[in-house]
Amino acid sequence: MIQKFEIYIKEKNLFHPSDKILLTVSGGKDSVFMVNLFLKANFNFGIAHCNFKLRGDDADLDEQFVKKLAYQNDISYHTTSFNTQKYSEEEGISIQMAARELRYTWFEKIRKEHNYNYIATAHHKNDVAETMLINLVKGTGLSGLHGISSKRGYLIRPILNFSRKEIDQYVMNHKVSYREDQSNSDVKYTRNRIRHAIIPELEKINPSVIETLNIEAGQFLELEKIISDKIEEERERLFRDEKGMIAISIDELKKLTPLTSYLYLLLKDYGFNKSDVNDIVQTADGNSGKRFCSSTHELIKDRGVFLLQKIKIDKPELFIINELVDFKKSPIAINSILENNSSDIELQKLKEFAYLDFEKIQFPIILRKWREGDVFQPYGMIGKKKVSDYLIDNKIPLLIKREKWVLEANGQIIWLVGERIDDRYKLTAQSKSVLILQMMKEI
């Protein structure tokens, strides 16, 4: 048994023999079994125990048992207690989720404070099988079918290659004392129903179902890695940066089969679910303008691409500038400089710069989002043009077009911000003072 334990740790590269490990010990059979193996292997470790104050005297007796186990074997011991019921009510989460959050936060705190290299939990093969079945019923997809990983960051599962039957046999043969948690037999909990009702029935069909499910979990993990690598490859090929957004070619996307599955895997990290993706696919051949939102991102159909960007916090639609210093408080970042000698200015021929004849501008200046019906006289043109037509003619993507601002003075648009000034406010040989504006990129 000890040899199997040590081989597993080495094969999975869980930790180095000189590392200091924090064992999470409830006092139950599985965690006490883990303590026994660590003692026999002579590893450097300590014990952490949480009292969740949920089972009255039994919880206190568990704490006393673990404390005695640690002291009898000269093991470093850490303990704490939580008002789990109160935390659950305050956070609006289940008792099980509350206990999980509380204990893992505390474990990490102890790990850092006492310089432990890893935190070890006593999960085993049956836990893997139970987790797979729970996730299968809940519909978590492929990512939920590889069960429990042996190592994730600072968290390790050093007895994950042992079954409950092996643990039971060891405990019986070595007369190991442990505490029995009566809640483990309460079938009101999903995991217990799986453990006591479902798995015994499956074992009638396949007596080695626990082993089979663990083998399948490993295969699912490898399969997920293959799929993940393929999705990243397609993401690199399909996603291109376009003025701070992600543009996805619809024609190239449609070459992927099955399209819906590919698109879901490409977009799920941006908060889109399968229902969203089904709707998005239906618009691939439709008109531009259709918009979809997740909790964090928005996606819009624009000509031959889907445009994807993070949802921005709404800014005021209108801002009054009574003096130049007010530009520093505006909803979008614009630098302003007033120069009194236009002949000394070196013009930057970039869209983010505007050079305006200051003598022609009367305050207040209004900074606002453009509206349908807005017109201006684009620099270099004789006649007027609708802002909407200008944006269309210059092929400004819909998501960017929606976020465009204008500066207005004297009842006229003097600058379509980040695009073009109005020709009536350009610099001439007679210009005496120049208002230089620069639209800054937001971090």
Select 243-310's CATH number: 1.10.10, 1.20.120, 3.30.465, 2.60.40.
Answer: 3.30.465
Q: What is the predicted pLDDT for the residue at 442?
A: 54
Structure letter (DSSP) for residue 74: T
How far is Cα 270 from Cα 47, in angstroms, rounded to an integer? 39
120: helix, coil or strand? Answer: strand
Neighbours of 14 (CB within 10 A): 18
Query: Rg for the chain (alpha carbons), in Å?
Result: 32
pLDDT tens, the chain, 443 aa long: 899 999 999 999 999 999 999 999 999 999 999 999 999 999 999 999 999 998 889 999 999 999 999 999 999 999 999 999 999 998 888 888 899 999 999 999 999 999 999 999 999 999 999 999 998 888 877 878 887 889 999 999 999 999 999 999 999 999 999 998 877 777 777 888 999 999 999 999 999 999 999 999 999 989 988 999 999 999 999 999 887 789 999 999 999 999 999 999 999 888 898 889 999 999 998 888 888 888 788 898 988 899 998 877 666 678 899 888 888 888 888 989 888 866 666 777 788 899 999 989 999 999 999 988 999 999 988 889 999 999 988 888 777 787 899 999 988 999 999 899 999 999 888 888 899 999 886 53
Q: How far apart are CA 228 and CA 255, in angstroms?
A: 19
The pair of structure tokens assigned to 250 is 């619809």
Please give the single-letter amino acid code of residue 21: I
Residue 167, token pair as written in the block: 């643990």
Assign domain 318-439 to its CATH architecture.
3-Layer(bba) Sandwich (3.50)
In SS3 terms, 290-333 reads as CEEECCCEEEEEECCEEEEEECCCCCCCEEEECCHHHHHHCCCC
Q: Which two tokens stand for residue 224?
A: 């997920």
Cα separation, 27 vs 8, in Å, equals 23
Q: Can you give the residue ranges of every domain in the chain? A: 2-217, 243-310, 318-439
Which of 265, 436, 423, 416 lies closest to 344 in space, CA to CA?
A: 436
Please tell me the predicted confidence (pLDDT) of residue 146.
81
Q: What is the value of pTM for the model shown?
A: 0.67
| Alpha-carbon span 34 to 41, nearest angstrom | 11
> Which is nearest to 142 in space by CA: 203, 230, 205, 204?
230
Distance CA 30, CA 178 (A): 9
421 touches 379 (CB < 8 A): yes
Task: Please state, in angstroms and rounded to a whole number, the distance separating the CA atoms of residues 440 and 443.
Answer: 9
What string of DSSP letters covers 264-291?
Answer: HHHHGGGT--HHHHHHHHHTTTS-TT-E
What pairs with residue 77 in β-bridges?
47
182, two tokens: 């009566």
SS3 194: helix
Distances (CA, A) of 88 to 41, 81, 107: 39, 14, 19
What CATH code is assigned to 2-217?
A: 3.40.50.620
Say what the pLDDT of residue 443 is. Answer: 37
CA dihedral angle for residue 391, residue 392, residue 396, residue 401, rounded to 10 degrees: 60
**What are the structure tokens assigned to 47, written together?**
């014990």
From the list 252, 257, 226, the residue with the least C-alpha distance to 239 is 252
Helices 95-113 & 84-91, crossing angle to 10 degrees?
110
Question: Are domains 2-217 and 243-310 of this chain identical in fold?
Answer: no
**Distance in angstroms between the alpha carbons of the first and the last residue of the chain:** 56
Task: Tokens for 189, please give them.
Answer: 């909990």
How many residues make up the chain in this entry? Answer: 443
